[in-house]
Amino acid sequence: MAKYYDEIPEFLIEWIKKQHMFWVASAPLNPDGHVNVSPKGTADCFHVLNSRQVWYQDLTGTGVETISHIRENGRVTVMFNAFEGPPRIMRLYGIGTVYEYGTQEYESFIPPETRKPGSRAAIVIDVYKCQTTCGFAVPIYDFVSHRTQLLRMADNVEALDRASDGTSSTEISQKGIKAYWIQKNLRSLDGLPGLLTAPDSKVTPVSVFDRDGPRPKLHRLSSRQEGALSGGANLAIGFVLGSLAATLLHRILSDNGIAYISISISRLWRLQHWHQGWSHKSMAKYYDEIPESLIEWIKKQHMFWVASAPLSPDGHVNVSPKGTADCFHVVNSRRVWYQDLSGSGVETISHIRENGRVTIMLNAFEGPPRILRLYGIGTVHEYGTQEYESLIPPETRKPGSRAAIVIDVYQCQTSCGFAVPIYDFATHRTQLIRAMDMKESCDRASDATASTELDQRGLRAYWIRKNLMSVDGLPGLLTAPDSKVTPVSVFDKE
């Protein structure tokens, strides 16, 4: 069960200090805009000022989404999850403020002696709500090392700025960090303003980065892990019937008077082609569909993250880690889906129902660095519907599965991932599946007696208590709680 706090409790502040990375989610208000989620993993970048305010040092990247979204609407969510020790997910919901490089406010947070190479802004977040959830589906990883590629690259680029500033020339170095900001960081993917003053700053970039410091070795998969992957992918490629694909695109389904409107081809076309105009703004690589090489890479990943957001400027942007094995599937180069397991919230489902926007993010913890984002429009097929059962028959259903989330991908993006730490995968947690299997056993027992009363210990009663509305009051589950289908799975309790 989720717990909410008006401020960050002291015990969570201490826990935050022990984490090696965090994730930042934000979104524009435009219903066709890209929802963003970014992993942040450079050491000593996140700071807690007090129980209601945090900040982090924002390093230069190929995009400027978070800064642009904060400028437009202020909304930002920071998420931590426990890879080691007791499971936990923590979200900090807040309003962000951007202080760009070269301003007095920036320098008050980040003096030269603590500045990282490539640092472009201090992102200050006034926290209005802190939430913790179980984290039972987050895999267990062992931390190995922070990557230093991003810092080294930025330090080399800033050296050109320092050399240029040392001459009488009034021109900035066309290969320096400020020129890079002009080329890559002035606008978001959706055309919102990004950096405003940093590119024109007269302050020479200085940092105390140790170029001769240790370089982490590129971490390859162990032979045990490679063997496990060759025996069966943790994120497997799935297939659905051609007739279902046509149904999803053209049909309006109705269940108990509730209309489910499938994504239209025209909106996908408009999103895909409208966003192509901004693709040249970033060194990131963009594709109209998922390349086969990336599909193969997806199959080897142990977890993924889902980001979504409501349209209300006061709504909570959500990011959720997903780590149960064999839940993510690639139908083809333009469509993916995943099995959505029950949790204490229903944000993603609610946001998809309202506006369709959803972003899937995967990042490499092992092997060569990489971040992959799939931007798409989602459709929710709840437990108990024909569409759900065509994707998730009983023999593949996980305990607690409440929906199949189908995503029509209109854009695929890769970026460097140079700041994502190196982790060793240990194992998948099974607490969530075990807890949900116990709840479903109560439903099965109740159905066997032909009782008309819900067992309050069962999964359906849980859905009614927890999953009917989002945090912002948007509709969540609509039909699953009333389904007459007895929950079945092939989970091995032993």
Q: SS3 for 320?
A: strand
- Percentage of residues in the chain with pLDDT exceeding 70? 85
More confident residue, 169 or 232: 169
Place of tokens 């192509």: 276
Give the integer Cα–Cα distance in Å for 273 and 288.
9
pLDDT of residue 411: 98
pLDDT of residue 493: 79
pLDDT of residue 393: 95
- Judge contact between 272 and 411, C-beta under 8 A: yes
More confident residue, 46 or 454: 46
- Judge contact between 402 and 22, C-beta under 8 A: no
Burial 446-482 (b: 16+ CB within 10 A, else e): bbeeeeeebbeebbbbbbbebbeebbbebebbbbbbe
Residue 29's alpha-carbon distances to 131, 189, 192, 295, in angstroms, are: 23, 13, 11, 30
pLDDT of residue 447: 86
pLDDT of residue 164: 85
Which domains can be identified in the chain, with CATH numbers?
Answer: 3-135+148-200 (2.30.110.10), 223-482 (2.30.110.10)
Is the model's pLDDT at 296 over the cut of 50?
A: yes
- Judge contact between 337 and 379, C-beta under 8 A: no
Strand pairing partners for 360?
A: 306, 374
- Mean pLDDT of all residues in 352-357: 99
pLDDT of residue 215: 80
Is the model's pLDDT at 256 over the cut of 90?
A: no
- Judge contact between 483 and 466, C-beta under 8 A: no
pLDDT of residue 218: 60
Q: Please give the mean pLDDT across all residues of the chain.
A: 88
191-219: pLDDT as tens digits:
999 999 999 999 999 878 888 877 877 65
pLDDT of residue 292: 98
Q: What are phi and psi of 212, to 5 degrees?
A: -95, 10
Confidence class for position 262, pLDDT limits 50, 70, 90: very low
- Judge contact between 429 and 136, C-beta under 8 A: yes
- Mean pLDDT of all residues in 303-329: 98
Alpha carbon of residue 303 to chain centroid: 11
- Judge contact between 302 and 359, C-beta under 8 A: no
* Helix, strand, coil percent content, the chain, rounded in steps of 5: 30, 30, 45
Tokens found for residue 478: 């609509």
Q: SS3 for 314?
A: coil
- Mean pLDDT of all residues in 220-245: 40
Give the integer Cα–Cα distance in Å for 351 and 25.
14
- Mean pLDDT of all residues in 2-17: 98
pLDDT of residue 494: 78
Is the model's pLDDT at 249 over the cut of 60?
A: no
- Mean pLDDT of all residues in 303-315: 98
Q: Which residues contact 330 (CB under 8 A, 6 or more apart)?
A: 237, 238, 290, 295, 298, 299, 336
Ramachandran class of 344: left when φ > 0, alpha when ψ lies in -120 to 50, beta otherwise: alpha
Tokens found for residue 125: 């977040």
Give the integer Cα–Cα distance in Å for 350 and 467.
9
More confident residue, 268 or 149: 149
CB atoms within 10 A of CB 427: 10
Closest CA to 221 of 233, 203, 213, 206: 233
The size of the chain, in residues, is 494
Is the model's pLDDT at 236 over the cut of 60?
A: no
First to last CA, the chain: 25
- Judge contact between 339 and 397, C-beta under 8 A: yes
404-421: pLDDT as tens digits:
999 999 999 999 999 999
Q: Round the CA-based radius of gyration of the chain to a whole number and report it.
A: 23
Confidence class for position 129, pLDDT limits 50, 70, 90: very high
Place of tokens 């002291």: 10
Strand pairing partners for 376?
A: 358, 409
In order, the DSSP letters of 86-113 are: S--EEEEEEEEEEEETTSHHHHHHS-TT
Confidence class for position 237, pLDDT limits 50, 70, 90: very low
140-193: pLDDT as tens digits:
999 999 999 999 999 999 999 999 887 756 666 788 999 999 999 999 999 999
Q: Which residues contact 266 (CB under 8 A, 6 or more apart)?
A: none
Closest CA to 55 of 127, 119, 147, 146: 127
Q: SS3 for 364?
A: coil
Place of tokens 């509305």: 469
pLDDT of residue 234: 40
User: How many CA atoms does the CB half-sphere of 319 hold within 13 Å?
Assistant: 28
Confidence class for position 448, pLDDT limits 50, 70, 90: confident
Confidence class for position 70, pLDDT limits 50, 70, 90: very high
- Mean pLDDT of all residues in 321-328: 95
Residue 342's alpha-carbon distances to 84, 98, 351, 479, in angstroms, are: 22, 36, 16, 14
Q: SS3 for 429?
A: coil
